[in-house]
Amino acid sequence: MTRLIRRDTGSGGRRARISRVVRSGFRPGPWKRELVLAVPALLLGLLLLLHTQVTDRGGLGSLVETFLPSFGLFVPVLLAAALWRRSASAVVALLLPVLVWLHLFGGLLGDRSHSGGDLTVVSHNVGADNPDPAGTARDLAASGADVLALEEVTEDARGAYEKVLAQAYRYHTVQGTVGLWSKSPLSDSRAVDIELDYGPLADTKPADVKLAYARALRTTVATRKGPLAVYVAHLGSVRVFPRNGFWTDSRDRGAQALGKALAEERNERVVLLGDLNGTTDDRAFDGLTSQLRSAQEEAGDGFGFSWPATFPVARIDHILVRGVETTSSWVLQATGSDHLPVAAGISW
C-alpha cells in the first residue's frame, strides 16, 4: 500500500511539472515582450521615412502627409512605455523615428527670421460664417500689412471688409470669393480659373457665373522696388467620407491649375497667398513647391500651424514666394474665423 501511494504521488508531481512547462510555453518571454514595443517604433520610423510610398488611393497619402509632423507625438508615448517595461530594444528602435523626424522637421524648430524686409504681406481665410467681419477687418488692418489677402469673402460680408479696410488700403480688387487690399497701386487684376469641376460644360458657363465662383486671382502690386506679381487662392476643400475616404479631388485639380498659371507667369518676383487646404508636405502640391518656397519654412519660428484657430494642428494657410527673399514669417492672433491669419516680411 505504501509503494502504491508513493507511485501516485510521483505521478502527480510529474503531471504538475508537465503542466507548468506547457503553461510557460504560452507565456510570452522577455524577447516577445520587447517586440510589443520595438515593432511599433520601427513601423513609425518606416512610415516617416517612406511616406511618399503610401498609396494615395482614397486620399490616404495626402491624409498621412497633412499631419506628418504630428506623428512625432508618438515618440514620447512609446519612449515612456519602453522605460516602464525596461525594454532596451524598444528604446534602440525609437532611434529610427527620432532621426527621420529630425531630418524632416528639425530645421523648423528654431527661429529662422532675421531683420529687414521691404514689404509685409498677410493672408487670412476670414471664414464664411465669421460673425464679426468688421472686427476682423480692423484686426487685420492693425497688423500693418502692406498687402492683405482675404479668402472666403461672402457677398454679404464684402461691404464690411471694403468699408473698414478702405481707411488703410487705397487699392483693392475682389474676384469671386477672394480679394486683395494694398497700400500700393494695383494693375492687371483678373480672376484665375482653378475651379475645374465644370467638366465638358466649362466653356458654356457664363462669364458672370464663373466670376461669382472664382477662388483665385492674380494682380500686380507696384512697389517702390518694382512690380510684384501676387496670387491669392483658396483651393477646394477636402472631405472625409465613410466609403471614399479622404476626398481631395477638387483641391488637387485646383493645385494643378494654379501650378500651371504660375509656370506661365512672366514676372520674376511672385508671391502666392492663400488657403491651400493642405500642407506643403502633401504630394498634391509638388507642382507649387517645385516653383515657390515656403515663407514659414524659410524664415518662420516653429511650425506656424494655422488651423483650426482654437487648437491649430496643421499649416494649411500659406505664403509662398519666388524671386524675393523672406525675412520673417509668423502667425497673427485669432479673429472671428476658424483660421489664423499668417504673415511674412519679404525683401528684394
The answer to which of 24-33, 148-157, 188-197 has the lowest mean pLDDT is: 24-33
> Could you give phi then psi for residue 341, rounded to 5 degrees?
-70, 145
In which element (H, E) is residue 11 found? helix 2-26
Contact 180, 219 (CB under 8 A): yes
C-alpha cell at 219: 494682380
Beta strands at 186-191 and 178-182: parallel, antiparallel or unpaired: unpaired
Q: Residue 239's pLDDT is what?
A: 81
Between 6 and 98, the more confident residue is 98
Q: What mean pLDDT is reported for the chain? A: 88
307 secondary structure, DSSP code:
B
* Nearest C-alpha neighbor of 270 from the set 278, 259, 282: 259
When pLDDT is cut at 50, 70 and 90, the band that residue 21 belongs to is: very low
pLDDT tens, residue by residue, 152-163: 999 999 999 999
The answer to which of 9-18, 277-286, 327-336 has the lowest mean pLDDT is: 9-18
Angle at 275 between CA 273 and CA 281, to 5 degrees: 95
Q: Is 330 helix (H, G, I), strand (E, B) or coil?
A: strand
Q: Is the peptide bond between 69 and the residue preceding it cis, with omega within 30 degrees of 0?
A: no
pLDDT tens, residue by residue, 123-137: 999 999 999 999 999
Q: What is the C-alpha to C-alpha distance for residues 292 and 172, in angstroms, rounded to an integer?
A: 24
Q: What is the C-alpha to C-alpha distance for residues 328 and 5, in angstroms, rounded to an integer?
A: 90
Is 60 exceeded by the pLDDT of residue 26? no
Q: Residue 10's pLDDT is what?
A: 56
Average pLDDT on 271-283 reads: 96
Q: Is 112 helix (H, G, I), strand (E, B) or coil?
A: coil
Q: Which residues have C-beta within 8 Å of that of residue 186, sequence separation ≥ 6?
A: 171, 172, 173, 180, 219, 220, 221, 222
Question: Between the CA of residue 308 and those of 19, 213, 249, 290, 311, what are the distances in Å?
Answer: 58, 24, 22, 27, 6
Beta strands at 270-275 and 226-234: parallel, antiparallel or unpaired: parallel
Contact 338, 309 (CB under 8 A): yes
Q: Residue 60's pLDDT is what?
A: 87
In which element (H, E) is residue 82 found? helix 74-85
Angle of helix 30-49 versus helix 95-105 axis, rounded to 10: 20
Q: Which domains does the chain have, with CATH numbers?
A: 10-108 (no CATH), 119-347 (3.60.10.10)
Q: What is the C-alpha to C-alpha distance for residues 76 and 117, in angstroms, rounded to an integer?
A: 39
When pLDDT is cut at 50, 70 and 90, the band that residue 201 belongs to is: very low
Q: What is the C-alpha to C-alpha distance for residues 118 and 130, in angstroms, rounded to an integer?
A: 31
Q: What is the C-alpha to C-alpha distance for residues 138 and 101, in angstroms, rounded to an integer?
A: 39
Contact 311, 320 (CB under 8 A): no
Q: Is 67 helix (H, G, I), strand (E, B) or coil?
A: coil
Average pLDDT on 261-268 reads: 96
Q: Is 2 helix (H, G, I), strand (E, B) or coil?
A: helix
Q: What is the pTM of this model?
A: 0.83
Q: What is the C-alpha to C-alpha distance for residues 222 and 241, in angstroms, rounded to an integer?
A: 45
Is 90 exceeded by the pLDDT of residue 325? yes
* Nearest C-alpha neighbor of 169 from the set 219, 211, 131: 219
The answer to which of 37-41, 211-215, 278-282, 293-297 has the lowest mean pLDDT is: 211-215
Contact 97, 75 (CB under 8 A): yes
> Could you give phi then psi for residue 89, rounded to 5 degrees?
-65, -35
